[in-house]
Structure formats: structure tokens, C-alpha cells
Amino acid sequence: MHQQSTRLNNKNIFLIGMMGSWKSTIGNKLANFLNYKYIDTDVAIEKIMKMKISKIFSEYGEKKFRSIEESYFVEKSKDKGFVFSTGGGIILGIKSRMALKNNGITILLKASTKTIYNRIITTNGRPLLNNLNDSEITLEKMWLKRKKFYYENADFIVETDHLQPDQVINRILKLIRV
Ligand code: S3P
């Protein structure tokens, strides 16, 4: 079923959270349900740069990636009617945090480090987790460093550890009162 809430008034929905928190899985379906347009910032950046995210990291470094990510996000989030699945590090930039605050509703998809580790262990292409032997520890350290920003910037938080993607979507729809 497609529907668009008048209450939502075409406001953007930003999904934030650690890598593996299901931002992309949920974002796509949520956009479809709301009859919204959909953007995965990583995918958009890869298209613009004609390069995989991992290649951008290895060629230009993380700092450059963050600056590309931030300029892209700050501009694009001025549009309306989008669900954005953001890269896990979007909350690191002050301008991106301002954009989250000013340009829509931000939902933090939260999962324990164990859950995230189990979800992403089978995937690759995550440059910040190259050494799988210690990636659970790396993920936990990353979460501890970032959690303040995730919490501070979230209008709503959905704990996803014990939910299926469709249940997460239903929670979000309730929270945004669609
Ligand atoms: C990153 C998360 C990735 C991607 C990049 C950096 C991070 O996106 O932007 O590898 O710093 O957490 P996902 O959260 O979609 O995996």
C-alpha cells in the first residue's frame, strides 16, 4: 500500500546509525510505503565519484571521504520528500548534524554491537572494518565514540535487535504518526 501522510508534509526522513543497522534495508521499503523518493548517501556518492566507497577511502583517505559526504548531504537534504539512508559516519560532521536537525525527522536505528557484527560479517566493502579478526572490538569502540552524536541527533530511536525489518518499519510509521 502506498500512502503519504499529510501530517508528514513531505518532510525528509533521515535514517542514522552504525553500519549494519539496516538503514538501507529499511530506507528503501519505507520510501516505497510513504511514496517518497529514496537516497542511500553511499550509493549516491559512489555514482558521483564513479568509485566504490572503499576505493575512495584507499585513494583519498577518510578525511576526504567525510568532506565529500558532508557537502553532498548538506545540499541534497535541502530537497523535500526523501527517505535518506545515511552513511554511519554522517553524524561526525557539524554541518551534517545541522542538516539533520533542520531538514527533516531523524530516526536512529540502534542495534547491539553483537547484532551488528553478525549482520555484517558476511559482507565486505566496509573500509573501516578491514581486519575481521578485531572488527567486533572496532565496532564497539566506534559506537562508544559516536553514540553521543547518534543520540543527540535522533528525534526517535528504534531498537532493532529483536525485530524483523517489517516490524522496524511499522515502529517507524507509528512514531512519525503515519
Ligand atoms: C561508514 C559507514 C559506511 C560508509 C563508510 C563509512 C562509517 O556506510 O559510509 O564505509 O563511518 O560508519 P554504512 O553505514 O551504510 O555501512
Ligand 1 center–CA 127 separation, angstroms: 8
Determine whether the shortest distance from the Cβ of 27 to ligand 1 is under 6 A: no
Main-chain phi, psi angles of 60, to 5 degrees: -115, -15
State how far the Cα of 57 lies from the Cα of 61, in Å rounded to an integer.
Answer: 4
pLDDT value for 122? 72
Q: What is the pLDDT of residues 131-171, one digit of tens each?
A: 667 788 999 999 999 999 999 999 999 999 999 999 999 99
Q: Whose CA is nearest to atom 12 of ligand 1?
A: 88
Query: Taking the mean position of all CA atoms in its chain, how far away is CA 51?
Result: 20
pLDDT value for 11? 96
Confidence of residue 39 (pLDDT cuts 50, 70, 90): very high
List all residues 6 or more positions away from 155 whose beta carbon is below 8 Å from its beta carbon. Answer: 105, 106, 107
The answer to whether residue 6 scores a pLDDT higher than 70 is no
Determine whether the shortest distance from the Cβ of 116 to ligand 1 is under 6 A: no
Q: What is the pLDDT of residues 121-134, one digit of tens each?
A: 877 678 788 766 77
Q: Whose CA is nearest to atom 3 of ligand 1?
A: 87
pLDDT value for 177? 82
State how far the Cα of 115 lies from the Cα of 31, in Å rounded to an integer.
Answer: 24
How large is the average pLDDT for residues 51-80?
97
Q: Whose CA is nearest to atom 8 of ligand 1?
A: 87
Helices and strands per DSSP (H, E), number in the chain: 8, 5
